[in-house]
Every structure is written in C-alpha cells, then in structure tokens.
Amino acid sequence: MIKVYQATDIGPARSNNEDSLACVDPAIYVVADGMGGCAAGEVASGLVVKTVQERLPQEKPMDEAALKKVILQANEEIRKMARQHKEYDGMGTTATLLHIEGNIGYWAHVGDSRLYLCRDKKLQQMTGDHSLVAELVAKGSITPEEAHGHPQRNIITRAVGTDDLLDVDTGRLSLSSGDILLLCSDGLTSAVWDESINTVLTDPFVDDKAAALVALALKTGTRDNVSVIVVCYEV
C-alpha cells in the first residue's frame, strides 16, 4: 500500500509559483522547480509535468531508462517553446521523478530538487545536487554547513531546457515496508536542515507530512516557492 501527500506554497517573497508537481497513476511522482523571468519558470516546470503525465504511463517497461527518456523529451519541448516565444528564452527547470513498481523505486533527476529515502528513522539523500555549492562542497572549498546559507546556493549547473544536450542522473532502489520517500524543491532544503526534515517524516503523530514540511519551511524563513511530495510505502 502506498500513501501519498503533496503540498506547495508560493512562499513569502515570490509573485508567482514556479514549482510544478504531480502524482500520476500508476505510482509516478514528479517535482519541478522552474527558473526564468516573465513567468517562464512556471512554463518550463509545467512542461515537465505535462510531458510526464502524457508520455511516461505509455512506456513499457517503466524503468529508469524510460524516466530518463521522458525528461529528455521534456527538454526538447521546453527548447521548442523557447524558440517559438522570445520571452521564454533561457527558461529551464529542475526535474526529480520517481516511479514505484512492486518493491522497486526508479528515479531520474536533473538540478537541485531532491529525492530522499527515510528508512529506520534515518534520512538519506538519493540524488546529487547539480549546483555550484554542491561542486564547492565536493572540492572541499566550503563545508555542507556553509553551503546551506551560501549566497550562490541558487545557482544550478544543470537544468532541463537550457541546452539541447542534457545529462540525466538515474537510479533504482529496493524498497522495504515502512520506507518514506520525499521529493522536494529547494524551497524546503534551503531553509530546513535534514535533521528537522527527518523529525517530521518520522513523527507518528504527523499525518500529512507534506503539509507539515511546507509549514516548517515557511516558519523557518524560506524565501522561495516550496513543494513537497511524501510517499509512504507499506507492504
């Protein structure tokens, strides 16, 4: 059995919500965080979600290769839209995509939205951020703590729609009963430490964990749109 919760909020500092998210049958989950002026960000993220909704359910098998294929198709759609409308030039979006089939979770990822696995009350980030600060941490130039509040933390190094060629990270994981999967935009992770995220996910008295995480991000002072999907896997 799978229980799913989703929530999104424009946040206190933005005039529009450039995040898009969706839960699609069968057991497909996507979060996209758009970027670009003149509402272009929400167009880009919306195109990712639309492409996933329309094309991924038709793929057989629906494995990580299929998820990657659909993100690449979304990349083409965004590039096409940008060529047709000059006001959308330069728009792009993150994309974090998950599909659960049986006890396997397949994922594909571009950008700095994230997929987490919470198992046995321990939180693990499954995706790597494609961002400037992540590269600085990997090089040892800054610490993870410094990255959290870094002034350039919003600069991403890979996005859907910004280039004709796109590398997509993919993977799969075996799921166990009681696992909790979290997909989120950086509006959550830029404001809330992983330890606090884990506390919410493992709190037995919190039912709608997505709404609780969005509320925590707003309370903690996020300046961004924040979007969350929480998937609770039980056998």
CB 9: neighbour CB atoms within 10 A?
A: 20
Alpha-carbon distance of 171 to 80, in angstroms, equals: 28
Alpha-carbon distance of 210 to 213, in angstroms, equals: 5
Please give the mean pLDDT across all residues of the chain.
93
pTM of the prediction? 0.95
What local confidence, expressed as pLDDT, does residue 38 receive?
57
What local confidence, expressed as pLDDT, does residue 150 receive?
76
Alpha-carbon distance of 167 to 148, in angstroms, equals: 25
| Contact partners, residue 231, CB within 8 Å, separation at least 6 | 2, 3, 4, 29, 98, 100, 180, 181, 182, 183
| CATH topology assigned to domain 2-233 | Phosphatase 2c; domain 1 (3.60.40)
What local confidence, expressed as pLDDT, does residue 133 receive?
84
| 122-178 confidence digits (pLDDT tens) | 999 999 999 888 888 788 888 777 777 777 777 899 999 999 999 999 999 999 999
- In the predicted model, residues of the chain with pLDDT beneath 70 are 37-39
What residue segments make up the domains of the chain, in order of their start?
2-233
What local confidence, expressed as pLDDT, does residue 37 receive?
60
